[in-house]
Amino acid sequence: MRSFFLSMLTLALLPGAAQSQDLGWRRYSLPQTMTSVDVPTGLFPVDGGPPESGQGRMFRTADGSADLSVYALPDRGESPAEFLRTHFQLPTQAIVYRRVTNNMVTVSGFRGDKIWYARCNFMARHLRCVALNYPARDKLRWDAVVTRISHSLS
C-alpha cells in the first residue's frame, strides 16, 4: 500500500518538466544490442520481466497502472514504413499520432482507457525500441516523461 501512495505522489509531481528530473532517472542499457534509454526508476520501480517481444526489459509503476518496455529487435531489412504496416496492425481510428522517417517510426493512440506509445529507431543490425502504456486521464502529467524517454532512446 505504501508503494501505491509513493507512486501516486510521484505521478502527482509530473506536470512540470523540472519535477520530472526528480524521478530517479537512470540510463538503462542492453549492451549486446547497444540499446540505451533514460528510465525514471522512481516512477517505474517494479521489474516486469522480459518484454512481449525482442530482448530487453519491462518496467511497471508500483500500482500497475503504467508500464515501459525497452527492447531490441533484429533488423529484418524492413523500412520504417513497412515495419509500421506489418507490426502495428491497428484500426486507423486507434492511431492519433504517427511519424515515420528514414530511420525511425513513432506511433501513439488509445487502447481502452490507456494511451500507448511506441518508438523504434532503425540502427545497424537492430531496431531499438520503447513502448509505454499509461492512463489516458493522466496524459498531461505523462507528456514530459514520454518525451524524455523517447528522445533519449539510442
Among the listed residues 121, 123, 144, the one whose alpha carbon sits nearest the alpha carbon of residue 131: 121
User: Is this model's pTM higher than 0.85 or not?
Assistant: no
Residues of the chain by 3-state class (helix, strand, coil), percent to 5: 30, 40, 30
Tell me the residue range of the domain where 121 lies.
2-152
pLDDT of the residue at 2: 37
pLDDT of the residue at 48: 96
* Kind of pairing between the strands at 126-135 and 114-122: antiparallel
Supply the CATH number for residue 97's domain.
3.40.1000.10
pLDDT of the residue at 106: 95
State which residues of the chain have pLDDT below 50.
1-21
pLDDT of the residue at 87: 83
141 vs 153: CA distance, rounded Å = 20
Give every CB contact of residue 62 below 8 A, 6+ residues apart in sequence: 3, 4, 6, 7, 45, 46
